[in-house]
Amino acid sequence: MRLEGDFGGCCYCFRECFIGGCFIERDPMKAAACLFIAVVAGNAVVGDVMAQPPVARKGPITDTYHGVKVSEDYRWLEDWSSGEVKEWSEKQNAYARSVLDNLPGVEAIRKRLTELESGASVHYHGMKTLESGGLLAIKNDPSKQQPMLVALKSVSDPGSTRVVVDPNAIDPTGSTTIDWFVPSPDGKLVAVSLSTGGDETGTVRVYEVGSGKARGEADVIPRAHGGTAGGGLAWLGDSSGFYYTRYPRAGERPAEDMNFYVQVYLHRLGEGTANDTYVIGKDFVRIAEIVLEMDPSGRWLLVSVQDGDGGEFEHHLMNPKGKWSKLDSFKDKVVEANFGKGNLFLVSRDGAPRGKILRIALGSDDAVHTAKDGVQIVGQGAGSVSTDFFGNTGVKASESRLYVLYQAGGPNELKVFDFDGKPMGDVPIPAVSAVDEIVTLDGDNVLIESQSFISPPAWYAYDAGKNELTRSKLFQTSPADFSKFEVVREFATSKDGTKVPVNIIRHMGLGMAIENGLRDGSKPRVVNAKDAKAGWELPAPTVLWGYGGYGVNQTPTFSPRRALFLEQGGVFAIANIRGGGEYGAEWHRSGNLTKKQNVFDDFHAAAQLLIDRGYTNRDRLAIMGGSNGGLLMGAVMTQHPDLCKAVVSSVGIYDMLRVELSPNGAFNITEFGTVKDKAQFEAIAAYSPYHHVKDGTRYPAVLMPVGMNDMRVDPMHSRKMIARLQAADPKGMFLMRTSMNAGHGIGSSLNERIELNVDVYGFLFDQLGVEYRAVTK
């Protein structure tokens, strides 16, 4: 049954049944058996598809930007305090539920997704060594709603694992999650940020590593972590206290500034937050994002600051005498700094858009430094140094070596140098893979976590002396069988001639048919092909994923959920489009601010590649993305409404003229630009998805998942975009799926993730003409 056009029937009450009870607090496998009853427009309805979504009234408003008048009808949907907005949103969700819950194969999809998500083995990540011996890590147990903080002796002894902090015990509803943790230098204590309901507002608590016991209220630090600006902590060398990021407290700032103006404070254990002292930050920009790091000796404090989300940084260093030095400014292009054996290593893109490495010898306790003191030890290479502001993974220093992580258009390479920059070879990581974490051990040996599109994450021990990489006992297994699938990297040609990598996960037999069809030319001869036994056919149902922003790298990542789609004969593709950092700063800069259109052109070219190569056609192609990737979906859909059959656009940004006015919007100005600047306004107005929906145009079916606790993207974007699409194309299918117990997707419970993906893949299968068939083992 293909659900599109006009429907007849009813709705489900999402507030009590979908979010509050059946799916979150009860077994998701039994949830669909629950009887949903709701009252919509005064009529009691049970079990059928609603005839139409609720109509949004029009309230015309006109703004003028640089002499240009811009009108819209749905400004009123921005006000979540309005009862009218809440009622409309609830009815929209009821309409979405009435469609999604009546899609064919939903129960079978739920069963298989639960097997895939819950059937994997445990996964350890966020690994940190303890000075007292052993390791701390986040353990993701698929049988639990939330990951736990655990201690273990080594990666070769998973049996030694014991729980230190368990959010599932703290909050049986599964709504509390660990944001981050930092162990004390002596290894006896660990500071942990915890947030609830996906809101990412973290409170720090201190626990004993040995017993898991929480220290008293005097060491509870509220509002130490936030959504976009994040948070961090660095212990004093003697473990008697710590520096931490502090968001404004009640009464200190106006309501609109409560998630800005982050500063650094010092807390001493047992003394209470009232006695905490200011350290630095009053002169930082309003949209400062801060990371803290103490050097291994416990004497030098590094405060790294990002100017919003745009990829510009400055670094402040406090010497052991307590004197601060400003190493660099935002325009100096130093993008990362890391301590190592009496040195500070800087990654600079000044004159080297793919990155070079500088070294500063820290020297005496009263030394004051600037980035100009840095001596270049590693010049720019063919790949781009892979930096991560909150992870600091680009450069890791062991006893006498530097491990430098590079980007090669998506996959990683890991190279080794001595402290003078002499090349020491490459670490033999798996082909077309990602290195997610590097943990230094004694001497020059390290632990490395790696994964690929078709191989689950695993921890490897690297022997520097032998140049050998050995998989440890900490590796994840999955019920998702990718043995019949392969990954190929092809290159699309964008509008301006730029070559754009596209990673294509496909069945091997399907791939052979594609290659055979192309042997005598660039156009496919095999227009239709089928292997009923293997379960694939051409043109194949295909999903293309993209992001393209903030310099974020789309690296090879294992996802058991993709197996659900591939098992049904699908093809899944991931495009490394501009706006990311896969080829360095130039790749990012050519896809932000006034050059954002390049991102959309790249993605369109990737989609066209899949069609031209014979993988799929318009009626069997879906596109998918979230957050900044939601903006991508909106722009591509409005610029090319006939490109694909379906769109899944999660927690997206659509009204680009007003995004900077949202509570979190200011952080995005350095990436998107501001309407206050004429040139930037003209670029933004040229692609803002909400403003380019045209009456009378037929658009692809759209599913927009939204989390009401989203601190990063205001859900008003989805409300306005859905209302505009429904008005422009009354016969189309436009669904806004709202979860009241989720945010931007970070920290969602296991059940929440399963139910979201039941809806996503049920929607995709229905739109792409896939009749779900059970997987035979």
| 746 vs 545, higher pLDDT | 545
Average pLDDT of the segment spanning 388-396: 79
Q: Above 60 in pLDDT, residue 13? A: no
Average pLDDT of the segment spanning 289-296: 96
Average pLDDT of the segment spanning 230-256: 96
Nearest 5°: the CA angle 417, 420, 422 is 45
Using a pLDDT cut of 90, give the percent of the chain over it: 80
Q: Above 50 in pLDDT, residue 26? A: no
pLDDT for res 219: 98
Please give the Cα distance from 576 to 570 (Å, whole number): 20
pLDDT band at 16 (very low <50, low <70, confident <90, very high): very low
* Buried/exposed 424-456: b ≥16 CB within 10 Å, e otherwise: beebebbebbbbbbbbbbeebbbbbbbbbbbbb
pLDDT for res 612: 95
pLDDT for res 613: 94
SS (H, E, C) 224-292: EECCCCCECEEECCCCCEEEEEECCCCCCCCHHHCCCCCEEEEEECCCCHHHCEEEECCCCCCCEEEEE
Q: Above 70 in pLDDT, residue 130? A: yes
pLDDT for res 24: 26
Please give the Cα distance from 177 to 232 (Å, whole number): 16
Q: Above 60 in pLDDT, residue 8? A: no
Average pLDDT of the segment spanning 509-526: 70
* Cβ count near 65 (within 10 Å): 15
Residue bearing tokens 């230094």: 440
Please return the burial class of 526, using the count of CB atoms within 10 Å of its CB with bins 0-12, 13-18 and 19+.
middle
Q: Above 80 in pLDDT, residue 188? A: yes
pLDDT for res 360: 97
- pLDDT tens-digit series, residues 460-483: 999 999 999 999 999 999 999 999
Nearest by Cα to 311 from 388, 409, 228: 388
What is the Cα 450 distance to its own chain's centre? 18
pLDDT band at 740 (very low <50, low <70, confident <90, very high): low
Take residue 218 and report the two structure tokens written for it. Answer: 């005097």
Contact 395, 345 (CB under 8 A): yes
pLDDT for res 722: 97
Furthest CA-CA distance within the chain: 78
- Complete edge-to-edge strand list for the sheet that includes strand 301-307: 288-294, 301-307, 313-318, 324-326
Q: Above 70 in pLDDT, residue 20? A: no
pLDDT for res 309: 87
Q: Above 90 in pLDDT, residue 675? A: yes
Collapse the DSSP code of 218 into the 3-class scheme (helix H, G, I; strand E, B; otherwise coil) and give the result.
Answer: helix
Is residue 149 within a helix (H) or strand (E), and if so which, with residue range?
A: strand 148-152
Please give the Cα distance from 82 to 61 (Å, whole number): 18
Contact 716, 77 (CB under 8 A): yes
Average pLDDT of the segment spanning 263-286: 97
Q: What is the dihedral of CA 41, 47, 50, 54, to 10 degrees?
A: 40
Q: Above 90 in pLDDT, residue 200? A: no
Beta strands 356-361; 202-208: pairing state = unpaired
pLDDT for res 7: 26
pLDDT for res 37: 27
What is the Cα 606 distance to its own chain's centre? 21
Contact 413, 394 (CB under 8 A): no
Beta strands 189-196; 176-183: pairing state = antiparallel
Nearest by Cα to 385 from 371, 402, 401: 402
- pLDDT tens-digit series, residues 622-651: 999 999 999 999 999 999 999 999 999 998
Is residue 206 within a helix (H) or strand (E), and if so which, with residue range?
A: strand 202-208
Note every long-range contact of 664-669, with CB atoms under 8 Å and residues 24 or more positions apart, other chains counting.
664/227, 664/228, 664/259, 664/711, 664/712, 664/713, 664/714, 665/714, 666/260, 666/286, 666/287, 666/308, 667/228, 667/229, 667/287, 667/289, 667/308, 667/309, 668/308, 668/309, 669/287, 669/308, 669/310
What predicted TM-score, i.e. pTM, was given to this entire model? Answer: 0.88
Contact 149, 124 (CB under 8 A): no
pLDDT for res 711: 63
Please return the burial class of 519, using the count of CB atoms within 10 Å of its CB with bins 0-12, 13-18 and 19+.
exposed
pLDDT for res 388: 83
SS (H, E, C) 433-495: EEEEEEEECCCCCEEEEEEECCCCCEEEEEECCCCEEEEEEEECCCCCCCCCEEEEEEEEECC
Taking the CA of residue 593 as centre, how many other CA atoms within 13 Å lie in the half-sphere pointing to its CB?
14
Q: Above 90 in pLDDT, residue 45? A: no
What is the Cα 654 distance to its own chain's centre? 18
Nearest 5°: the CA angle 210, 211, 212 is 105
pLDDT for res 709: 59
DSSP assignment of 59-86, as one string? --EEEEETTEEEEES-GGGG-TT-HHHH
Query: What average pLDDT does the chain have?
Result: 90
Q: Above 70 in pLDDT, residue 171? A: yes
Q: Above 60 in pLDDT, residue 519? A: no
pLDDT for res 749: 75
Q: Above 60 in pLDDT, residue 239? A: yes
Take residue 366 and report the two structure tokens written for it. Answer: 């009263």
pLDDT for res 673: 96
Q: Which residues contact 141 (CB under 8 A, 6 or more apart)?
A: 122, 147, 148
| 293 vs 12, higher pLDDT | 293
| 21 vs 77, higher pLDDT | 77
Contact 232, 247 (CB under 8 A): no
- pLDDT tens-digit series, residues 547-583: 999 999 999 999 999 999 999 999 999 999 999 999 9
pLDDT for res 745: 56
Contact 91, 12 (CB under 8 A): no
Please give the Cα distance from 402 to 418 (Å, whole number): 6
Average pLDDT of the segment spanning 34-63: 64
* Cβ count near 284 (within 10 Å): 20
Q: Specify the DSSP class assigned to residue 119.
A: S
Contact 392, 234 (CB under 8 A): no
